[in-house]
């Protein structure tokens, strides 16, 4: 088995810089703890050059670099950065183990067919990790331990040949095996400095003096790592988010950082070959509480502008009501729609562009204002429903359109316009004589025809019984009118046009 380890050095800092890339060239320290207990856990190169080291208290660090930018450890940033690292590893292997804290193992057995050698694979993995904003190192070995140690060494990548694990580890300092504090002190007292020195000791003697943990450490020093790779189940969603330094009360600053998060999310979705079909936004409120919302997208998309517009419109419609101190955006993935274009038939629409256009229009006009119209069974006119628009593929060859039916269409009025109608009876026949309304649909009627009775849903609690008429005004315009049989009100519901 060959195992690749992706390792992100100074992971808390790398995760933070992924969310705030502007801080990359500043003197920044990531601190853990509050008040007097706050201490530095990682610092940027610029801060390290000035003497900032992990373990310093924040007060000490500030005394060295007064303009030091301090950021607390952000669990949300680290969680999403770890997810992004896992997804990078998943593009190389389906068997990926999450070791946490910026470490990921991947089983790369069988991948040699796709890459010239293991070094090329490792370089591709590093490049992919940099693509999602994480400066990763890579090591490849036959065991997780050796791969992990190789990944922590520079220059990266480091490749350990199969069966040469003990030789690879031997010259390294013993601290590379991360022994327990007590065992480390004992080994130091024994005068052992390198892994090879320790590996040469008899196993039974080490076990009798250091116990079970000492035996495991001895195994590790000899390059033996019996721990199998435990692949993780693929999560059904993609998540990005961060905690902000101060409570946000305005929408624009929030959208600014949400845009960056969506950008990262879109890149991760693209890496995995997915598009987003549903967004879940969770806002952490000040002083406590959460505000969650779900936004359905009309079609799978990776367009950041569309997703940001949808979030903005949703927040404008229902503001959270309290300052926001953090957020998490979860994208539910779906396969993007693909279509085969025709050489000879009419051009097909690009599903990706169509989905984006519909999503943007739906966000501006409303979900019920755009889509595919469908007819609904019934007896009354103007029955329709709106469905998701997904046109079938065009035919393979162009054809001539059939002759037009030449039918007169009607322009429906929604809602129907209430009017007053004057009728007259001549020769035993009732005719509409005139129409009066508040708008411009008024005047004497030249000719009319009707009534055409329609009775609908007579079995239900809301039956409709109407008599329909057609009427042509003297001043022009042919209208369709109806009268409700119950209260006798007249309405114009369409114009022949």
Partner 1 sequence: MSAITASVDYQFELLAPAAPRAKPALVPDPLPLPIGQRESVRLLRASLDAAIAAKVMNATELIRAVAKQSRDDVTPTMLEPLDALLGGGLRRGKMTEITGRRSCGRFSIAMAALASSTSIGEAAAFIDLGDHFDPQIAESCGVDLRRLLWVRPHTMKQAVMAVEMLTATGFQLVVLDAAGHPIKGRRVHDAAWVRLARSAERHGAAMLISAPYPLTGTASEAVVNTWPIRARWIGQHPRVLAATLINVSLQKHRHIRPGHEAVLSFRAAESARDDNG
Figure out which of the listed residues 190, 256, 290, 452 binds partner 1, where binding follows CB under 8 A.
Answer: 452
In terms of CB distance, is 186 or 423 closer to partner 1? 423
Sheet with 28-32, strands from edge to edge, namely 39-43, 28-32, 69-72
* DSSP 8-class letter at 381: S
- CA distance linking residue 354 with residue 303, whole number of Å: 11
- CA distance linking residue 347 with residue 402, whole number of Å: 19
Rounded to a whole number of angstroms, the distance between the first and last alpha carbons of the chain is 75
Task: Decide: is 411 part of the binding site for partner 1 (CB under 8 A).
Answer: yes
In terms of CB distance, is 281 or 358 closer to partner 1? 358
Task: For the CB of residue 444, give the shortest distance to partner 1 in the complex, in Å.
Answer: 15
Kindly report whether the peptide bond that precedes residue 263 is cis, defined as omega within 30 degrees of 0.
no
Task: For the CB of residue 231, give the shortest distance to partner 1 in the complex, in Å.
Answer: 41
Q: Which distant-in-sequence residues (6+ apart) come within 8 Å of 450 by Cβ?
A: 432, 467, 468, 469, 470, 481
In terms of CB distance, is 181 or 373 closer to partner 1? 373
Figure out which of the listed residues 130, 449, 457, 463 binds partner 1, where binding follows CB under 8 A.
Answer: 449
Tally of CB atoms within 10 A around 103:
21
Task: For the CB of residue 469, give the shortest distance to partner 1 in the complex, in Å.
Answer: 10
Task: For the CB of residue 331, give the shortest distance to partner 1 in the complex, in Å.
Answer: 23
**How large is the angle between the packed helices 75-90 and 118-131, nearest 10 degrees?**
140
In terms of CB distance, is 182 or 396 closer to partner 1? 396
Q: What is the footprint of partner 1 within residues 224-253 (CB under 8 A)?
A: none
Task: Decide: is 414 part of the binding site for partner 1 (CB under 8 A).
Answer: yes
Instruction: Give the helix/strand (H/E) hosting 296.
Output: strand 290-301
Q: Which stretch binds partner 1 (CB under 8 A): 78-86, 110-118, 301-309, 406-414?
A: 406-414
Count of residues of this chain found to bind partner 1 when the rule CB under 8 A is applied: 72
Task: Decide: is 399 part of the binding site for partner 1 (CB under 8 A).
Answer: yes
The string of DSSP codes covering 153-198 is: SSSSPEE--TT-HHHHHTTSBGGGG---HHHHHHHHHTT--BHHHH
Task: Decide: is 400 part of the binding site for partner 1 (CB under 8 A).
Answer: yes
Give CA separation, 227 vs 94, 127, 166, 224, 460, in Å.
Answer: 19, 28, 16, 9, 69
Task: Decide: is 374 part of the binding site for partner 1 (CB under 8 A).
Answer: yes
Figure out which of the listed residues 453, 457, 463, 486 binds partner 1, where binding follows CB under 8 A.
Answer: 453
Task: For the CB of residue 426, give the shortest distance to partner 1 in the complex, in Å.
Answer: 12
Task: Decide: is 384 part of the binding site for partner 1 (CB under 8 A).
Answer: yes
Task: Decide: is 413 part of the binding site for partner 1 (CB under 8 A).
Answer: yes
Task: For the CB of residue 266, give the shortest distance to partner 1 in the complex, in Å.
Answer: 19
The string of DSSP codes covering 206-220 is: HHHHHHHHHHHHHHH
Figure out which of the listed residues 280, 470, 484, 485 binds partner 1, where binding follows CB under 8 A.
Answer: 470
Task: For the CB of residue 439, give the shortest distance to partner 1 in the complex, in Å.
Answer: 10
Q: Which distant-in-sequence residues (6+ apart) come within 8 Å of 383 by Cβ?
A: 375, 376, 377
Figure out which of the listed residues 72, 131, 196, 477 binds partner 1, where binding follows CB under 8 A.
Answer: 477
Task: For the CB of residue 279, give the shortest distance to partner 1 in the complex, in Å.
Answer: 21
In terms of CB distance, is 133 or 351 closer to partner 1? 351
- Rounded to the nearest 5°, which phi and psi values hold at 459? -85, -10
Using alpha carbons, select from 377, 378, 359, 379 the residue that is nearest to residue 369.
Answer: 359
Task: Decide: is 412 part of the binding site for partner 1 (CB under 8 A).
Answer: yes
Please calculate the CA angle 342-343-348 and round it to the nearest 5 degrees: 35
**Cα-atom radius of gyration of the chain, to the nearest Å?**
35
In terms of CB distance, is 249 or 447 closer to partner 1? 447
In terms of CB distance, is 138 or 419 closer to partner 1? 419
Q: What is the footprint of partner 1 within residues 332-371 (CB under 8 A)?
A: 345-350, 353-354, 357-358, 360-361, 364-365, 369-371
Task: For the CB of residue 353, give the shortest distance to partner 1 in the complex, in Å.
Answer: 5
Task: Decide: is 404 part of the binding site for partner 1 (CB under 8 A).
Answer: yes
Task: Decide: is 426 part of the binding site for partner 1 (CB under 8 A).
Answer: no
Figure out which of the listed residues 480, 490, 491, 492 binds partner 1, where binding follows CB under 8 A.
Answer: 480
- CA distance linking residue 39 with residue 33, whole number of Å: 7
User: Long-range contacts: 108-111, Cβ < 8 Å, 24+?
Assistant: 108/2, 108/3, 108/4, 108/140, 109/1, 109/2
In terms of CB distance, is 55 or 476 closer to partner 1? 476
Figure out which of the listed residues 155, 407, 461, 488 binds partner 1, where binding follows CB under 8 A.
Answer: 407
């Amino acid at each position: 088995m060959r195992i690749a380890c992706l390792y992100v050095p100074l992971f808390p800092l790398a995760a933070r810089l992924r969310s705030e890339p502007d801080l990359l060239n500043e003197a920044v320290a990531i601190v853990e703890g509050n008040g007097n207990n706050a201490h530095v856990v990682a610092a940027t190169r610029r801060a390290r050059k000035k003497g900032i080291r992990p373990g310093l208290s924040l007060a000490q660090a500030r005394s060295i670099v007064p303009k030091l930018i301090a950021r607390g450890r952000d669990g949300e940033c680290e969680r999403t950065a770890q997810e992004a690292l896992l997804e990078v590893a998943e593009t190389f292997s389906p068997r990926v183990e999450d070791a946490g804290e910026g470490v990921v193992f991947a089983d790369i057995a069988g991948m040699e067919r796709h890459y010239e050698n293991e070094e090329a694979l490792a370089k591709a993995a590093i490049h992919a990790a940099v693509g999602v904003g994480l400066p990763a190192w890579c090591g490849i070995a036959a065991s997780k331990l050796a791969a992990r140690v190789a990944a922590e060494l520079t220059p990266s990548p480091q490749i350990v040949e199969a069966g040469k694990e003990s030789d690879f580890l031997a010259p390294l300092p013993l601290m590379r095996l991360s022994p327990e504090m007590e065992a480390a002190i004992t080994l130091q007292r024994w005068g052992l400095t390198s892994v090879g020195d320790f590996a040469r000791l008899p196993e039974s003697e080490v076990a009798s003096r250091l116990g079970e943990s000492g035996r495991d450490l001895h195994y590790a020093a000899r390059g033996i790592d019996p721990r199998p790779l435990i692949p993780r189940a693929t999560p059904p969603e993609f998540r990005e988010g961060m905690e902000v330094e101060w409570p946000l009360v305005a929408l624009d600053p929030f959208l600014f950082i949400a845009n960056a998060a969506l950008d990262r999310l879109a890149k991760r979705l693209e890496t995995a070959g997915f598009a987003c079909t549903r967004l879940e936004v969770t806002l952490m409120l000040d002083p406590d509480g959460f505000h969650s919302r779900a936004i359905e997208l009309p079609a799978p998309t990776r367009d950041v502008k569309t997703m940001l517009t949808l979030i903005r419109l949703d927040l404008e419609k229902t503001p959270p009501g309290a300052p926001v101190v953090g957020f998490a955006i979860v994208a539910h993935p779906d396969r993007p729609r693909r279509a085969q274009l025709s050489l000879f038939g009419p051009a097909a629409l690009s599903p990706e562009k169509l989905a984006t256009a519909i999503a943007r229009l739906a966000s501006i006009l409303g979900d019920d204002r755009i889509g595919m119209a469908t007819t609904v069974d019934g007896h009354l006119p103007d029955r329709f429903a709106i469905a998701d628009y997904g046109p079938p593929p065009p035919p393979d060859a162009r054809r001539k359109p059939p002759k037009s039916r030449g039918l007169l269409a009607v322009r429906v009025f929604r809602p129907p316009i209430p009017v007053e109608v004057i009728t007259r009876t001549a020769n035993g026949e009732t005719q509409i004589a005139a129409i009066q309304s508040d708008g411009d649909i008024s005047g004497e009627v030249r000719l009319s025809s009707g009534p055409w009775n329609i009775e609908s849903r007579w079995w239900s609690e809301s039956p409709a019984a109407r008599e329909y008429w057609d009427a042509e005004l003297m001043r022009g315009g042919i209208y369709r009118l109806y009268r409700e049989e119950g209260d006798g009100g007249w309405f114009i519901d369409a114009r022949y046009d």
